[in-house]
């Protein structure tokens, strides 16, 4: 069967090590796609500190306009703390998340040969609700969900809605069907009874539509302990925003290093690949940044698109990227953050050679 064989990708390099690792991930994606008969068409868009200088905003209107016409994006890190004060808030990620309703944040953590892991048998996917929860900045319905009625009192509002919980639960159960068929719903309903209680209950209601998937629930504190004690018990973990942020860092470190941590932000009709790590200004410009998290994020993006198009070529390209990174690491090549001596360029050449 021949398929439509072009992938259009918006590329936003971002700050710090972004201009070092993002082009590597583009090269890797291009090589993997070409090997499977798919052409990659990229559109580079201004973003971050460079965009402030050129267009007067970290996410210029022209970039938002262009993004609305492109469904797949690869986005580098941003270092908004280093922007001139008027541009620090809202952070670029928040602007894009809100504008395009990127409600699902998928963060896998799996140990790989060649990188010592605290939990060598961990293989989890954290499905983090990305639009509301206990992160007040995402609570559009209540404005900025944090405020100070007096200079000595600060309040924060948590928001959980049935609609947002239902759509993230569907993401989690669908993901479990493609994985090992188990979902863990993480909440804290003994204390945050109404908010995280609603989250848990709606997830369990959605689970009734998935009789083929097993489900259990955990309190977030117990979950942190269990991820360390019995990581192999978990497959897909679905949770609200703040809990998901924390648990995904924990899972990433258990699997080896935050430097390997890939992530995908998605709505129903578009997806953004972006590594979990930040701009790493301390090592920017030295050619030593680890490109793996960005490379694996772009593999997630191609797999997401492969599911959407039902394209074996795209799924195979994604698998080949994961395989090539694993192969190079197993061979003992690693960047400085993983204890090795390879430069960004050496590592990327090795991955391209395998592909």
Peptide bond connecting 107 to the previous residue in cis, omega within 30 degrees of 0: no
By CB under 6 A, residue 282 contacts ligand ATP: yes
Selected range binding ligand ATP among 132-140, 158-166, 185-193, 280-288, rule: CB under 6 A = 280-288
Q: Which string of DSSP letters, residue by residue, matches 152-198?
A: TEEEE--B--HHHHHHHHHHHHHHHHHTTSEEEEEE-TTTSTTHHHH
The b/e string for 142-158 (b: 16+ C-beta within 10 A; e otherwise) is: eeebeeeeeeeeeeeeb
CB 278 → Mg ion: shortest distance, Å? 5
245 an active-site residue? yes
Q: Which two tokens stand for residue 288?
A: 């030593």
Told to judge if 233 belongs to the known catalytic residues of this protein, a careful annotator would answer no
User: Counting contacts by CB under 6 A, is residue 259 touching ligand ATP?
Assistant: yes
We find the least distance from the C-beta atom of residue 355 to ligand ATP, in angstroms, to be: 20
Residue 290 interacting partner from ligand ATP, Mg ion, none (CB closer than 5 to 8 Å by kind) = ligand ATP
Active site residue 210: no
Give the footprint of ligand ATP on residues 9-38 (CB under 6 A). 17
CB atoms near residue 34 (< 10 Å): 13
> Cβ(237)–Cβ(226) under 8 Å?
no
Assess contact for 240 and 199: CB atoms under 8 A: yes
Which residues ranging from 261 to 320 are in contact with Mg ion (CB under 5 A)? 278
In the complex, least distance from residue 27 CB atom to ligand ATP, rounded to whole angstroms: 16
Catalytic pick among 15, 79, 235, 245: 245
115 counts as binding ligand ATP under rule CB under 6 A = no
- The residue whose Cβ lies closest to ligand ATP is 278
178 close to 233: Cβ distance less than 8 angstroms: no
Contact pattern for ligand ATP over residues 46 through 85, marking x by CB under 6 A: -------------------------------x--------
Among Mg ion, ligand ATP, none, the one that 72 touches (CB under a kind-dependent 5 to 8 A) is none
| 337 contact choice in ligand ATP, Mg ion, none (CB below 5 to 8 Å, kind-dependent) | ligand ATP
135, 210, 235, 322: which is the annotated catalytic residue? 135
Q: Are 274 and 247 in contact (CB under 8 A)?
A: no
Give the one entry of Mg ion, ligand ATP, none that residue 23 binds, where binding means its C-beta sits below a cut-off of 5 to 8 angstroms depending on kind.
none
With CA atoms as reference, report the closest residue to 297 among 252, 323, 330, 260: 260
Q: Is position 83 annotated as part of the catalytic site? A: no
Beta strands in the chain (DSSP E): 6-12, 39-44, 72-75, 104-110, 123-129, 146-150, 153-156, 182-187, 214-219, 236-239, 264-266, 271-273
- Closest by CA to 133, choosing from 240, 235, 29, 60, is 240
Q: Among residues 198 and 296, whose Cβ is nearest to ligand ATP?
A: 296
Q: Give the one residue of 279, 295, 324, 325 binding ligand ATP; rule: CB under 6 A.
A: 279
Known catalytic residues are 135, 188, 221, 245, 249
- Give me the residues that bind Mg ion (CB under 5 A), please: 278
- Give me the residues that bind ligand ATP (CB under 6 A), please: 17, 77, 259, 277-280, 282-283, 289-290, 293, 337
């Amino acid at each position: 069967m021949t398929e439509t064989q072009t992938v259009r990708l918006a590329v936003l390099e971002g700050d710090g090590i972004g201009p070092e690792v993002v082009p590597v991930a583009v090269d890797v994606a291009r090589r993997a796609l070409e090997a499977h008969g798919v052409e990659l068409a990229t559109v580079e868009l201004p973003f971050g500190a460079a965009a402030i200088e050129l267009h007067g905003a970290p996410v210029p209107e022209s970039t938002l306009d262009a993004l609305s016409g492109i469904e797949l994006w690869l986005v580098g890190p941003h270092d908004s703390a280093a922007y001139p004060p008027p541009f620090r808030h809202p952070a670029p990620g928040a602007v894009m998340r809100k504008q395009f309703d990127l409600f699902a944040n998928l963060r896998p953590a799996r140990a790989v040969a060649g990188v010592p892991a605290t939990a060598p048998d961990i293989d989890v996917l954290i499905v983090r609700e990305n639009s509301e929860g206990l992160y007040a900045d995402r609570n559009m319905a209540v404005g900025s969900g944090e405020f100070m009625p007096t200079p000595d009192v600060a309040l924060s509002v948590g928001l959980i809605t049935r609609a947002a919980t239902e759509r993230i639960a569907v993401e989690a159960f669908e993901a479990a069907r493609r994985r090992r068929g188990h979902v863990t719903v993480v909440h804290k309903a003994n204390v945050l009874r109404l908010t995280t209680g609603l989250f848990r209950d709606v997830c369990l209601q959605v689970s009734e539509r998935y009789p083929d998937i097993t489900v259990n629930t955990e309190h977030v504190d117990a979950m942190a302990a269990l991820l360390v004690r019995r990581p192999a018990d978990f497959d897909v973990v679905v949770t609200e925003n703040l809990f998901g942020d924390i648990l995904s860092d924990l899972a990433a470190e258990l699997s080896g290093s935050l430097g390997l941590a890939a992530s995908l932000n998605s709505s129903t009709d578009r997806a953004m690949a972006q590594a979990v790590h930040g701009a790493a200004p301390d090592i920017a410009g030295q050619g030593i940044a680890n490109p793996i998290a960005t490379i694996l994020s772009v593999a997630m993006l191609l797999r997401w698109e492969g599911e959407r198009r039902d394209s074996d070529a795209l799924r195979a390209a994604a698998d080949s990227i994961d395989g090539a990174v694993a192969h190079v690491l197993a061979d003992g090549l690693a960047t400085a953050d993983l204890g090795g001596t390879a430069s960004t360029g050496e590592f990327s050449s090795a991955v391209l050679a395998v592909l």
